[in-house]
């Protein structure tokens, strides 16, 4: 199945000059969504993963069914101010600004092996901040899985030493 057929380009969103890769058509098609989840699951040995982590917000949509099917805890990396309990945080730059990401301070244990899941790698800033947060726990990111990688932005370069699985590359 060609999953790229389910990605819609939205010009000038969220700001002028950005072409947003919209995954909602993929999520709306039950076959394409199942195929996405199945491909990610087939790429990993879940005996070597302790935690599934979804990155706000579209990463949650992929991480939750994977965590459920693989019987692994689900951890959420959220934008600043969204989590109700004590948090650890890391700041990062986006291709169109900057932000901070947080995680509950009791979400990850020392030496946990984590699969980070997001919808897209652009500049790598968000996922790099997630790596920094995981380091604060003395845990390890075993892999990063995304639907889309914008290769021309070289985000992979910020995520050296981590296995990256992307379903679609632009």
Mean pLDDT, residues 142-161 taken together? 95
Structural domains in the chain?
46-169 (3.40.50.2020)
**pLDDT tens-place string over residues 126-141:** 999 999 999 999 999 9
Is omega for the bond preceding 6 within 30 degrees of 0, making it cis? no
pLDDT at 71 over 90: yes
Grade residue 15 by pLDDT with cuts at 50, 70 and 90: confident
Assess whether 56 carries a catalytic annotation.
no
With b for 16 or more beta-carbon neighbours within 10 A and e for fewer, the 85-113 pattern comes to eebbbbebeeeeeeeebbbbeebbeeebe
Q: How far is CA 149 from CA 103, 145, 152, 155, 164, in A?
A: 24, 10, 9, 8, 10
Q: Does residue 168 sit in helix, strand or coil? A: strand
Whether residue 125 contacts residue 92, with contact meaning beta carbons closer than 8 Å, is answered with yes
pLDDT at 5 over 90: yes
Q: DSSP letter string over 84-127?
A: SS-EEEEEEEETTEEEEEEEETTSS-TT-EEEEEEEEESSSHHH
pLDDT at 167 over 80: yes
Q: Which residue among the candidates 58, 78, 149, 156 is catalytic per the annotation?
A: 58
CA distance 117 to 76: 10
Grade residue 92 by pLDDT with cuts at 50, 70 and 90: confident
Grade residue 66 by pLDDT with cuts at 50, 70 and 90: very high
Give the pLDDT score at 105: 97
pLDDT at 87 over 90: yes
Assess whether 95 carries a catalytic annotation.
yes
Mean pLDDT, residues 95-124 taken together? 92
| Residue 153 CB neighbours (<10 A) | 16
pLDDT at 95 over 90: no
Q: Which residue among the candidates 35, 39, 56, 95 is catalytic per the annotation?
A: 95
């Amino acid at each position: 199945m060609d999953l790229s057929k389910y990605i819609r380009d939205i010009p000038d969103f969220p700001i002028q000059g950005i072409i947003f890769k919209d995954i909602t058509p993929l999520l709306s098609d039950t076959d394409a969504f199942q195929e996405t989840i199945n491909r990610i699951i087939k790429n990993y040995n879940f005996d070597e993963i302790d935690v599934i982590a979804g990155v706000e917000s579209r990463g949650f949509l992929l991480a939750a069914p994977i965590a459920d099917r693989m019987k692994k805890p689900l951890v959420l990396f959220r934008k600043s101010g969204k989590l109700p309990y004590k948090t650890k945080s890391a700041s990062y730059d986006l291709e169109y600004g900057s932000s901070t990401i947080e995680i509950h301070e009791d979400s990850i244990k020392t030496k946990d092996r984590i699969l980070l899941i997001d919808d897209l790698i652009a500049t790598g800033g968000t996922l790099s901040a997630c790596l920094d947060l995981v380091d604060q726990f003395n845990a390890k990111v075993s892999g990063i899985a995304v639907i889309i990688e914008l290769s021309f932005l070289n985000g992979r370069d910020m995520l050296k030493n981590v296995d990256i699985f992307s379903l679609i590359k632009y």
